Amino acid sequence: MTENTVPELQHRTVLLEEAVDALAIEGARADGIFVDGTFGRGGHSRRILERLSPRGRLIAFDKDPQAIASAHALTQSDSRFEVVHDSFATMAAALAERGVTQVDGILLDLGISSPQVDDAARGFSFRMDGPLDMRMDTTRGISAAQWLETASEQIIERVVRDYGEERFAFQVAKAIVASRSVAPISGTRQLAEIVARAVKTREKGKDPATRTFQAIRIFINRELEELEVGLRGAFGCLAPNGRMAVISFHSLEDRMVKQFLAARATAHQPDRRLPIRAVDLPQPEMKLLAKMKPSAAEIADNPRSRSAVMRVAVRLPYTPQAGAPK
């Protein structure tokens, strides 16, 4: 089945009301410009548009061609909405091209969507047999199968260890290299079986292939590199009193988000012995507003939401000082 004939798969937006509430789209702010960094199937975008005034504007980003196809229907029905087929890491440049220098709120919903996981042809899931692709943007880059065909054992081990936090990374890498010498690893179930034989102990309730699949997906899509660039770009585009909400789904992402926001919520104080007036002391650039997880009711309704963590911060109306992180 080709991408053009894949049926629309159901996606449940995680922390839908909480994330849009965090952007505080009310009063004069409803006239502002907002960014949805990961359109997905448009759950957050549609709710944001409901709260914007007729003068408001929403710009969304997504790498997935199927997500972009879904977004085009919205662009045709609502002139306040525009979608960019690219990563949110390109946000600063994409906004500048559109004459936008500052925005009032940015939402980043990281990770992969249910339609991506549930479509066997995309190769994200070890629960269904399909081609080992794993690309979020199927129009660019190499697939997971192509990478595994040529990557060295040492590189595979590093990726599985660092991005999957898999303690059996050495055994997994060795098993992959041994298997590909016999036959190419081209299917999801094939890879899952190789990993299952290499992982000696299993976490309760978790498939032994979970960490390896996560690691390869993150690597193939450069997710952590794009998150680092995207956070910096988002902060640079955020207007004073603008809000940023980031939903992450695994510890590596959440750690990066937490550290990024915390660094900007802390004033970098100079040597106390220096004769500096209190008014000239460095001020924090952001204020942390909330850390939130899905409710028990949401998790019961959508078990895939259980690992989600949302962090919310507001940009303070101060001029950045020397020594502050860029």
Per-residue pLDDT of the chain (326 residues; tens, 9 = 90+): 333 333 444 567 999 999 999 999 999 999 999 999 999 999 999 999 999 999 999 999 999 999 999 999 999 999 999 999 999 999 999 999 999 999 999 999 997 888 888 899 999 999 899 999 999 999 999 999 999 999 999 999 999 999 999 999 999 999 999 999 999 999 999 999 999 999 987 778 789 999 999 999 999 999 999 999 999 999 999 999 999 999 999 999 999 999 999 999 987 665 566 666 555 556 889 999 999 999 999 999 998 899 999 999 999 996 544 444 44
Query: Can you tell me the distance from the alpha carbon of 288 to that of 285, in angstroms, rounded to the nearest whole number?
Result: 10
Give buried/exposed letters for 62-98 (b at 16+ CB in 10 A, else e): bbbbbbbebbeebeeeeebbbbbbbbbbbbbebbeee
Distance between CA 296 and CA 131 in Å, rounded?
A: 35
For the chain, the straight-line distance linking the first and the last C-alpha, in angstroms and rounded, comes to: 46
Residue 44 annotated as binding? yes
Residue 62 known to bind ligand: yes
43 is in an annotated binding site: yes
CA-to-CA distance for 219 and 159, rounded, in angstroms?
7
Secondary-structure class of domain 3-114+223-267+275-315 per CATH: alpha beta
DSSP assignment letter at 29: G
Residue partners of 311: CB distance under 8 A and separation at least 6: 245, 246, 248, 254, 257, 258, 261, 288, 290, 291, 292
Q: Flag whether 78 is marked binding.
A: no
Q: Which fold does the domain 138-220 belong to in CATH?
A: DNA polymerase; domain 1 (1.10.150)
Nearby residues of 13 by Cβ (< 8 Å), 6 or more positions away: 40, 41, 43, 44, 109
Tokens 């078990």 sit on residue: 303
Instruction: Provide the residue ranges of all domains of the chain, joining segments of one domain with +.
Output: 3-114+223-267+275-315, 138-220
Q: Is 85 annotated as a binding residue?
A: no
182-to-131, 175, 194 alpha-carbon distances in Å: 18, 11, 12
Name the pTM for this structure: 0.88
